[in-house]
Amino acid sequence: MSYLLDTNVLSEIMRPKPAPAVLDWLSKARLADQWLSVVTVGELRRGVALLRHRGGTARAQVFEQAIADIETRHGDRILPVTTEIVRVWARISIHSIDMADGLIAATALTHGLAVVTRNVKHFEETGAAVINPFG
């Protein structure tokens, strides 16, 4: 099985003390089976921009480096939003899911990936397979 990591999973591993359950789950899933959506990368980068805007330059630099490492580690396993993904998103957007999560769910459905997230309820209605590594 292959996985699409949600933003909250990546945010968790960037914390000073990440949840052990998340680290354990990630260590057991092959890196080659871990995928990202470009939407997730955008959400992470938006977080850095907000930190900078609020004067948290030092923290922003730490997160910027962590995101660069994540991008390098995942390389060609960062999936773009395609026309097909937008078609799927349009179909599932009738559920109460925000656009970013909807595009992540549509990416998972299009590519046959399970969404790895803490926000199980956000994704269940879409029909995407969901895994909660937080326990």
- Checking DSSP bridges between strand 78-79 and strand 114-116, what pairing results, if any? unpaired
**98 is annotated as contributing to ligand binding:** no
The CA distance from 63 to 44, in Å, is: 9
Q: Which two tokens stand for residue 101?
A: 């999560």
The CA distance from 133 to 135, in Å, is: 5
Q: Which two tokens stand for residue 90?
A: 């349009």
**76 is annotated as contributing to ligand binding:** no
Q: In what order do the strands lie in the sheet with 3-5?
A: 78-79, 34-37, 3-5, 114-116, 130-131
Residues annotated within a binding site for Mg(2+): 6, 101
Residues annotated within a binding site: 6, 101
